[in-house]
Structure 1
Amino acid sequence: MQKVDHKIFIIVAVLMLAGAVFSFTLPVFLEMRRHLSEYHFLGRYILFGSVGFLIMILLANLNPDKWFNKIGWIIFVISGILVLVLPFLPESIAPIINGAKRWIKIGPFKFSPVEFFKIGVIFFLSWSFTRKIQKTRNLKEDIKQFLPHLIFLGLFWILIVFMLSDLGQVFVMISLFILMLLAAGGKLKTFGVMVLAAVSIIVPAILFAPYRFKRIKDWLYTASSNFLPQPIVDGSSANYGQVIQSMNAIHHGGIFGTGLGNGIFKLGFLSDVHTDFVLAGIAEETGIIGIGLITFLIGYLIYRIFKIAFRSEKKEYQLFALGVGSLIAIQFIINGLGVTSLIPIKGLTVPFLSYGGSSLMALCTAIGMVLMISKRAKYIKE
């Protein structure tokens, strides 16, 4: 059995160190407004990060042939049950925050089951596609193979969209479904069918929710105002004030940034600067150079994970590693495009950098499982 890929440990540790630093420098205004300690978010990030890192180390040292499936099923089943019951829990346990019920409260802490459910879905697809998806002669047979998976997970996705008001996470999971299906041996024509399936979920979710439809219209107005002489639709930038301030923060940072702790747009202009808009906050304080370094680290992490996927001898391990690498890439790209108004903002975390215990521990769990299966990959010559 090979050793784990220690470079992934180092990259994740560096990204988490950066996440801790920016959990200290960015949310200062929020801490002042809520009369919190200046170390409030830093302390929580270190707590969740430490737990997540220990989980990652523990999982990395397990035998994948014995533990991979067991842990994967535990994550999928428990997180799936929590997602199903979450809409029906009392507000004392599942508080409504910003009009959505997405978190379960345990004492002073909250966690989001959907963050772990994404990891569970990646495991479920890697396990199921390995056993069910075979090369077929035509598109009809191909559809018959993946349709049960689509119907089963589609029920969860519909609940997440309409009951938890979380379209962004469903978009991520549908994207993972498509990528993993193609990697498992699905035909390219299947891509078109999957796009239609995605549209059948996403379009009604927008049309039957007036606030989402208005948000899309306002985004088109804002984006076209930023990049074209005239906006292409009538609308308002009021709902995209955060995005406008995000772009101002990025512009203010320039090449070298204002220096750690010296950003000004975090002082009430970007209220989510430590979560959804963390890239804008980082860009202001560290400039293009800082964002470039972050992008390099994320890209190199994805590269190492994909390398494990391509070198794994078991198809199940290949698909899981591919799914985890794709998850990190999708969330990073979507967030980056969102904070620059190129696409509607989705409220997705930036892996390891955004403040959020659920996202941090779920990602550490996923990386730990990837490191676990890296011991079964063919030797990687450096």
Structure 2
Amino acid sequence: MQNFDRIQNSKILNTFSLIEDSKKLADKILFYYSVCLLSFSTILSYSLSTYAIDFYGYGEFHFFVRQLFAVVIGILLMWLFSQVEPSKLIYKFGFFILFFSVFLIIIMQFLPDSFASSAGGAKRWIRLPGFSLAPSEFFKIGFIVFLAWSFSRKFVGVERDSVFSELLVLLPYIFVFGFIVFFIAVMQNDLGQVVLMAIILGIMLLFAGGSFKLVGILFLTSLALAIVAIITSEHRIIRVKTWWGSIQDLVLSIFPENLAQSMRIENTPEPYQVFYSISAMNNGGIFGSGIGDGIIKLGFLSEVHTDVVLAGLVEEGGIVGLFICLLFFAVILYRILKIANRTKDNVYSLFCIGVTIMLGFSFLINAFGITGIIPIKGIAVPFLSYGGSAIIATCIAIGMVLSISKTIK
């Protein structure tokens, strides 16, 4: 009789445990802070798009409506994904989005111009009724899923006796990355996205247990490939010269005169993007000129609401506005890393780390570019830049992290 009671009590406890697990909620703070930044992006898309609206002859609310639509869809997807079991998202949807985005990237190069939009002389968007789709934005999520799944099997908890043995294990990843370099850097003429994914691969490899020597070899190899990609592309050479022209006086001031003269490049292209971006931030001051009252958007820089949104944000919102957005962004990254640290599943943990790297370095690359620290790469600011594909892809990534957050305390 006692054994029967013990069994019954155990069944009841297990039932209550299952009920409690099913009631676990996703990280509300991560969700709400993401929604706040996304909502702010709709305000920026309206405030900073003045010149683009006038130049293209669009209606006053053209960019606002399109951004609002993308944000609403993104928030809905973020919430829906948070309700799904993470195993279904990571192992099924994650690989689906990987292979489907690869398929789109390949066929996009063969589509006629009426079905594919170009930038920098290369096709980057697929035109669909009412909007354009950038497959590379979704490919990054699939790429992170692939690395998280594969690294957890090949590197986590596995000790290797030499760098050479690690390189042998890494060969399939090198082939995958070669595909990325060819179709995104060469075919789409978008070196910035490749740089970002190289950073994701290297840092995720370190967290998975790869050695610093291995990551160093990968870094030098990637640097060599980047140099080749730059010197074989005229527009990239011009971009590097423009960047160097904007910083050479400051950098060369610390070198001896003879050496500085040998490194100086005369008649460099005018770095107007960096110049006007810095001017806009200087005009903003501490509290900004006020939403809608900025000057940079009035033809000095075209389409400020896209890749130069941080400059427009600082001009109209000031240092205070930038600080608030940075605070929200920092909380988002902190919550994702906290989920990565607490989950017991290595795949989930590596995926969360990959998403953090993707969001964090996208922000840094953009911020460093518009301030002249590095050449401008044309990478969108997560949550803030105008663009439906980037917004929806970011929301999908956050939704997958929210789903993982339900599996931990």
Provide the TM-score with structure 2 as the length reference.
0.89
In structure 2, how many angstroms separate the alpha carbons of the residues matched to 1:203 and 1:238? Answer: 20
- Over 3 Å counting, the alpha-carbon distance change for 1:292 and 1:354 in structure 2 is same
Q: Select 2:208's aligned residue among 179, 184, 201.
A: 184
Letter in 1 for 2:136: V
Give the letter aligned to residue 288 of structure 1: I
Q: Which amino acid aligns with 1:291?
A: L
Contact persistence 1:94–1:102 (CA under 8 A): yes
SS at match of 1:269: coil
Other-structure match for 2:403:
372
Q: Do structure 1's residue 131 and structure 2's residue 131 form an aligned pair?
A: no
Structure 2 gaps of 5+ residues are 1-20, 254-259
Q: Does the 8 A contact of 2:180 with 2:194 survive in 1?
A: no
Residue in 1 aligned with 2:309? 278
For residue 89 of structure 1, the aligned residue among 89, 92, 111 is 111
The answer to whether the 8 A contact 1:218-1:236 is kept is no
Query: Which residue of 2 is the match for residue 223 of structure 1?
Result: 247
Aligned position for 1:31? 53
Paired residue secondary structure (1:276):
coil
d(CA) in 1 for partners of 2:102, 2:137 = 11
Does the CA-based 8 Å contact 2:117-2:125 persist in structure 1? yes
Q: Which amino acid aligns with 1:135?
A: E
Task: Please say if 1:147 is aligned against 2:171.
Answer: yes
- Cα deviation, 1:25-73, whole Å, max 9, x if unaligned, reads 1111111122111111110001011111111111100011344311101
**Structure 2 residue 28 is the aligned partner of structure 1 residue 6:** yes
Superposed counterparts of 1:331-346, under 5 Å: 331-346=362-377
Q: CA deviation at 1:227?
A: 6.7
Quick one: which of 210, 220, 229 aligns to 2:234?
210
Q: Aligned to 2:187, which of 155, 158, 163?
A: 163
Q: Which string of whole-angstrom CA distances, capped at 9 and with x for unpartnered residues, describes residues 168-203 of structure 1?
A: 000000000001111111011112111022123211
Measure how far apart 1:265 and its partner are: 1.2
Provide the residue aligned with 1:347 in structure 2.
378
Paired residues in the alignment total: 378
After superposition, give the CA deviation of every residue in 1:201-234 in whole Å (9 maximum; x if it has no partner): 2111001112212221221111234676689521
1:101 aligns with 2:132: no
Q: What do residues 307-351 of structure 1 show as CA deviations (whole Å, max 9, x unaligned)? A: 101111000000000000111100001111111111100000000
The aligned counterpart of 2:43 is 21
- Counterpart contact for 2:74–2:392, Cα < 8 Å: yes
Supply the AA of the counterpart residue of 1:252: N
> How far apart in 2 are the matches of 1:284 and 1:66?
43
Q: Unpaired runs of 5+ in structure 1?
A: none
Contact preservation (8 Å) 1:218, 1:235 = no
1:97 Cα deviation from its structure 2 partner: 3.3
Which residue pairs with 2:85 in the alignment?
Answer: 63
- Over aligned residues, Cα RMSD in angstroms? 1.6
The separation in 2 between residues aligned to 1:236 and 1:340, in whole angstroms, is 21
Q: 1:43 to 1:236 in 2, by over 3 A?
A: farther
Q: In the alignment, which residue of structure 1 is the partner of 2:137?
A: 115
Identity %: 39
Distance across 2 between alignment mates of 1:260 and 1:277: 16
SS in 2 for 1:213: helix
Identify which range, 18-27 or 210-219, moves more after superposition. 210-219
Residues 1:302 and 2:333 aligned together: yes
Displaced runs of 4+ in structure 1, greater than 6 A? none
Secondary structure in structure 2 of the residue aligned to 1:95: strand
